[in-house]
Structure 1
């Protein structure tokens, strides 16, 4: 459950960072946040599959795998930023 929350939060941050950095692709604060949440969840899940699901396994000693959590944060942030940029690009192209 912690991994999903980390993916969502990182995705929202990544989406808003992409919107702030790429003003022409921004969807507004709410649009950036929503697309970031979706992209963060997707990006974190994809990264988890590529790394062999290390984050899901957890650490037996502490109950948390910090390297897996960091990977989920990175994947979520990147996924949120990428999806926000893609949706912003498509929106701009459809607008003319």
Structure 2
């Protein structure tokens, strides 16, 4: 686990979580909740999704940064939407 790629994936996950909530007009978690859920999902999901798909996300070359943003952003968006859906079902 590379700390740089983890930070890139967490940051892009936070962006992805807020973007997904804004796109679906579902702000059930609020800005802070979407950011935290997205960052958590982006960091953890990106670390799992990269090796699963055979994508190298370690390092600071342009390919690793772009793939880190992609895997972190997608994972963060899915995590934030899933958390908002679970919260709405429990309410």
Q: 2:43 aligns with which of 41, 44, 57?
A: 41
SS at structure 2 position matched to 1:54: coil
Count residues with an aligned counterpart.
Answer: 89
1:26 aligns with 2:28: yes
Deviation at 1:65, TM superposition (A): 2.6
> What is the TM-score with the length of structure 1 in the denominator?
0.82
Q: What is the alpha-carbon distance in structure 2 between the residues aligned to residue 24 and residue 48 of structure 1?
A: 28
> What is the TM-score with the length of structure 2 in the denominator?
0.86
Moved over 6 A (4+): none
> Which region of structure 1 is more displaced relative to structure 2, 69-78 or 24-33?
24-33
**Alpha-carbon contact 2:56-2:67 (below 8 Å) kept:** no
Match of 1:61 in 2: none
Q: What is the alpha-carbon distance in structure 1 between the residues aligned to residue 4 and residue 57 of structure 2?
A: 10
Q: 1:90 to 1:66 in 2, by over 3 A?
A: same
Q: CA RMSD in A?
A: 1.6
* Structure 2: gaps spanning 5 or more residues: none
